[in-house]
A = this chain, B = another copy of it.
Amino acid sequence: MYTFKGKQYPCCASLTMGMIGGKWKTVILFHLMEGELRYNELRKQMPTVTERTLSLQLKTLEQDGIIKRTVYTSKPPLKVEYSLTEFGETLIPVIQSITNWGIFAVEKYSE
């Protein structure tokens, strides 16, 4: 049994999946891997996600200390950038492993 930030996980794999699991988190992290992005830039990279869901996932990732949110303006139009924290950067090899396998799978076993 593993404990992390007050939550219990039956397996070390569960812990990681608890942080980056779900339909969209790895996609967000994949796009943030190469540098910070604004909210709308992220949206353009992920045309099929709804605003509500994107917003929720970003907030969760921020609460988990994986990404950070920086506001550059005080009045509208707002400028907000999202980027990986130092802790979030330790996930890069994991995300890369996940994306690499996805590419491998389509290339090797496409229809």
Contacts and interface: CB of A to CB of B under 8 A. Distances in A.
Interface of A: 2-6, 9-17, 19, 21-23, 26-27, 29-30, 46-48, 87, 90-91, 93-95, 97-106, 109-111
B98 A3 contact: no
A85 to B, nearest CB: 12
Instruction: Classify the secondary structure of A's interface with B.
Output: helix
A90 B94 contact: no
B16 A99 contact: yes
Contact of A30 (B3, B11, B90): B11
What 8 A-B pairs have minimum CB-CB distances, sorted nearest first?
A12-B102, A15-B102, A97-B97, A13-B26, A16-B102, A16-B98, A11-B27, A13-B30
